[in-house]
Structure 1
Amino acid sequence: MSATCLVVMGVSGAGKTTIARRLADELGWPLAEADEFHPPDNIRKMSAGVPLTDDDRIPWLEALRDWITERAETGESTIVSCSALKRAYRDLLRGARARVRFVHLAGDAPLIMERLSVRSDHFMPPSLLDSQFADLEPLAGDEDGVVVDLGQEPDQIVESALTGLALRAPER
């Protein structure tokens, strides 16, 4: 496997999309925003403040895994912004035909709630943050990835992730 996929993970409001975009720009890899892979029923549920079940998430994660595989089969490395809260979800993503690595953006609930309270462009309401933290299973020692403190500035987060994963941007 020569292709790599970096999954930028964490609870809603952790800054996954922002950091994933910066990593994609830095590495020159295409980006997929996992929210765009949700079926309409999932979006309706979350918009109504109803947490998704594992059964709701499986087809969504399978579509994302397949997107990673399609690109990896052409040798293309990718970046994905995805909550990937549970080990089982990450295991499913690791089923892609790429080296799937994780960047867990970790922070405490008050900081993330502060960020969510000023965000108006997302279907995930702040009321679901508690359910996200309840589902969160931090990266285990045997998982390929790094945990990065989201309390840092975005440039520092990107640098910490690249250093922790021993990745460097291509020379331009």
Structure 2
Amino acid sequence: MADHLLPPAIVVMGVAGSGKTTVGELLAQRLGWEFRDADSFHPAANIAKMTAGQPLTDADRWPWLAAIADWIDAHRKAGGHGVVTCSALKRAYRDRLRNGHTDVRFVHLKGDIEVIGARMAARQHHFMPTALLKSQFDTLEPPAPDERALSISVELEPEQIVEAVVNMLERDTAPAQRV
């Protein structure tokens, strides 16, 4: 793949429990890119609020999204590439992460509330309680076609999801064919 044609960042998005961290880490390893989990950008107040079972408001999310957008912009300025996770539930949030750049790509991990709820119930040592999952689904605005996101089922194995993303990147960076 032509490095200069690759996006500066891929944002692995979806509701809590959709597998963002697992897929993001595997994708970053496969591509040889830096990886950051969006949870590492949250201020302590956000984590405390979610731990207490309170959904975040937009006012809580804007500084968090700005910090992730700054990380993406730093990769752009350095000529590098990165994979970051972020729920990115609303288009306005994704627009903030893009920060006016159309080359940031999103991978939307989608699934139904029962499948994702069962995954959340099985994980340990995470601050996001299963009780907040419905609020995430209520907030979710799936990416529109003009956002050029890859939407992929969480029922696939993480390695299959990574393979689909790599195939998408290869299609996007392949030279145009003459007919």
Q: Structure 2-normalised TM-score? A: 0.89
User: Where do 5+ consecutive residues of structure 2 fail to align?
Assistant: 173-179
- Please, what is the CA RMSD of the aligned residues? 1.7
| Match of residue 20 from structure 1 | 24
1:99 Cα shift?
Answer: 2.2
Q: Which moved more, 1:153-162 or 1:72-81?
A: 153-162
- Counterpart pick for 1:107 among 100, 107, 111: 111
1:164 Cα shift?
Answer: 3.0
Matched residues, number: 168
Change (3 A) 1:164 1:3: closer
| Match of residue 29 from structure 1 | 33
1:68 and 2:72 equivalent? yes
| Match of residue 152 from structure 1 | 156
> One-letter code of the match for 1:93?
L
Question: Of the two, which has the highest radius of gyration?
Answer: 2
Deviations 1:2-42 (A, max 9, x none): 65210000000000000000100000000111111001110
| Match of residue 46 from structure 1 | 50
CA distance in 1: counterparts of 2:17 and 2:114, whole angstroms: 11
CA distance in 1: counterparts of 2:22 and 2:7, whole angstroms: 22
Identical residues among aligned pairs (%): 51
Q: Which has the higher helix share?
A: 2
**Aligned residues of 1:32 and 1:79 also touching (Cα < 8 A):** yes
CA distance in 2: counterparts of 1:33 and 1:65, whole angstroms: 13
Structure 1 runs (4+) deviating above 4 angstroms are none
User: Where do 5+ consecutive residues of structure 1 fail to align?
Assistant: none
